[in-house]
């Protein structure tokens, strides 16, 4: 067991060197679905993770077990007030306000906008003959989706993309040094002014968008000014690192799986299942953590209260006790209930939008592959992944897409 602890500790501390190691996941699942690393318990089994997530003694706030919460900058303090960082009654209250943006009616309205935005973004990239799917599509598209939710004009997208990246930096590095903190605060001050102006405009002329609803809720005392700001900031940044990574792993699957483009051209409705299975196998969110305010039983292990549980979603999504032949990409699986979007109270509200966006990208790429020969020089061994442990996304995904008639001419 000591060798397994050593290997896992190295993986946590040096994710860039380890990348995504299915062999380590297999060892954890077979030998120790819950592994004690001192005050930290790494939970990798699918059912064991569900036991933690659904236990009322589980919290996202580290201060509940006496650990410090990051808060050195104004931006990080706002991040701490976001919906995913809240527990109990506060989380329930804020989530109830957010559900209006993800109702069946609103999602139906969003579908066409997401598909048209994806088509508009893909067209010039494909025409160029080569592009980086991460930087050129997987980063700007989630921001465009968020802007659609909030009914923000297209002319503001570039600025919001930069600010969304700012929030992502704060999430990935919540303890910056003094110089970095000053830089973050200066950039965030501009974002703060923009959001306040946007809220003021919606308060004066409300519409059917989420910002309008939130400004009404603030006027009625159902949330305060910081919570409103945190909500809007969260929605602008929603999808960076998560949907961005999800789009990349799904596109990579399409580019490297023989016959998949042809199938999606023949069965466009299968695109959501393909994207969903890619999320299970690729696990864009590799792990998250929960503080335990009481003893929690996970499988055969009783994790003591006061501990922190690291939930290794990437391993759980390959748990053979849950998924037959778990390392195989199979969009036709009977059971696709995975943990890529979380589970329980903190299940991602934006999951349906992610599925829509992912399916739209896959259909667009598959359709283009009929006229252009799409491919990437990368393999599983050469893909450069995020150096942040919590996220398993790709840092780049070069796509070559020359017209097929050019290739025929060159061969002739």
DSSP state of 80: T
What backbone torsions phi and psi does residue 372 show, to the nearest 5 degrees?
A: -125, 145
Q: What is the CATH number of the domain that holds 328?
A: 1.10.630.10
Is the separation of the CB atoms in 139 and 120 below 8 Å?
Answer: no
- 164 phi and psi angles, rounded to 5 deg: -65, -40
What is the number of domains present in the chain?
1
Task: State the sign of the Cα–Cα–Cα–Cα dihedral 214, 217, 219, 224.
Answer: negative
The pLDDT assigned to 242 comes to 87
Q: What is the DSSP string of 361-375?
A: HHHHHHHHTTTB--B
Choose among 256, 297, 294: nearest CA to 274: 256
Q: How far apart are CA 228 and CA 144, in angstroms?
A: 20
CA dihedral 220, 222, 228, 232 (to 10 degrees): -100
**Within its chain, how far is the Cα of 190 from the centroid?**
25
At residue 47, the pLDDT reads 98
Helix (H) or strand (E) holding 34: strand 34-37
Tell me what pLDDT residue 176 has: 73
- Looking at residue 403, its pLDDT comes to 95
Q: Per the confidence metrics, is the pTM higher than 0.85?
A: yes
The per-residue pLDDT for 411 is: 47
pLDDT under 70 in the chain at which residues? 16-20, 70-72, 101, 173-174, 239, 406-412
Residue 323 and residue 338: Cα distance in Å, rounded?
9
CA dihedral 202, 83, 391, 63 (to 10 degrees): 140
Rounded to an integer, what distance in angstroms lies between the CA atom of residue 355 and that of residue 113? 14
Question: Each residue of 192-211: b (16+ CB within 10 Å) or e?
Answer: bebbeebbeebeeeeeebbb
Instruction: Report d(CA 277, CA 336) in Å as an integer.
Output: 7
Q: Which two tokens stand for residue 234?
A: 């969260």
Pairing verdict, β 308-311 and 40-43: parallel
* Angstrom distance (rounded) from CA 34 to CA 298: 7
Confidence (pLDDT) at 412:
42
In angstroms and rounded to an integer, the radius of gyration of the C-alpha atoms of the chain is 22
Cα 254 to Cα 195, 247, 250, 265, 337: the distances in Å are: 38, 11, 6, 12, 21
The pLDDT assigned to 55 comes to: 96
Q: Which domain holds residue 380?
A: 2-411
Question: 261, 374 in Cβ contact below 8 A?
Answer: yes
Residue pair 361/217 in contact (Cβ under 8 Å)? The answer is no
């Amino acid at each position: 067991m000591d060798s397994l602890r050593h290997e896992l500790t190295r993986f946590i501390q040096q994710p860039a060197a380890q990348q995504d190691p299915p062999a380590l996941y297999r060892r954890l699942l077979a030998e120790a679905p819950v592994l004690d690393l001192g005050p930290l318990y790494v939970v990798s089994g699918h059912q064991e993770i569900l036991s933690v997530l659904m236990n009322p003694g589980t919290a996202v706030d580290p201060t509940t077990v006496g650990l410090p919460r990051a808060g050195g900058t104004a931006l990080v303090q706002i991040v701490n007030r976001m919906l995913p960082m809240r527990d109990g009654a506060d989380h329930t209250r804020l989530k109830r306000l957010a559900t209006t943006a993800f109702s069946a009616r609103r999602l139906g309205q969003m579908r066409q906008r997401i598909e048209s935005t994806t088509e508009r973004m893909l067209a010039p990239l494909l025409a160029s003959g080569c592009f980086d799917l991460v930087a050129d599509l997987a980063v700007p598209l989630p921001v465009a989706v968020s802007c659609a939710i909030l009914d923000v004009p297209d002319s503001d997208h570039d600025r919001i993309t930069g600010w969304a990246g700012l929030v992502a930096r704060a999430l990935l590095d919540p303890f910056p040094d003094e110089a970095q903190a000053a830089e973050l605060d200066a950039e965030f001050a501009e974002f703060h002014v923009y959001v306040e102006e946007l809220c003021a405009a919606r308060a004066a002329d409300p519409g059917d968008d989420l910002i309008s609803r939130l400004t009404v809720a603030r006027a009625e005392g159902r949330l305060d000014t910081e919570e409103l700001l945190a909500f809007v900031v969260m929605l602008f940044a929603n999808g960076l690192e998560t949907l961005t990574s999800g789009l990349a792993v799904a596109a990579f699957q399409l580019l490297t799986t023989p016959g998949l483009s042809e199938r999606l051209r023949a069965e466009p409705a299968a695109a959501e299942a393909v994207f969903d299975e890619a999320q299970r196998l690729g696990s864009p969110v590799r792990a998250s953590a929960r503080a335990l305010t009481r003893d929690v039983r996970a499988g055969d292990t009783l994790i003591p209260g006061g501990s922190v549980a690291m939930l290794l979603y990437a391993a759980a999504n390959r748990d053979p006790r849950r998924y037959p032949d778990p390392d195989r990409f199979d969009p036709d699986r009977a059971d696709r209930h995975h943990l890529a979007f979380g589970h329980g109270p903190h299940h991602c509200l934006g999951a349906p939008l992610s599925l829509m966006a992912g399916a739209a990208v896959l259909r667009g790429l598959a359709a283009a592959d009929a006229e252009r020969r799409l491919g990437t020089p990368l393999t599983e061994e050469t893909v450069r992944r995020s150096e942040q442990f919590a996220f398993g996304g790709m840092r780049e995904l070069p796509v070559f897409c020359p017209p097929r008639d050019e290739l025929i001419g060159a061969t002739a």
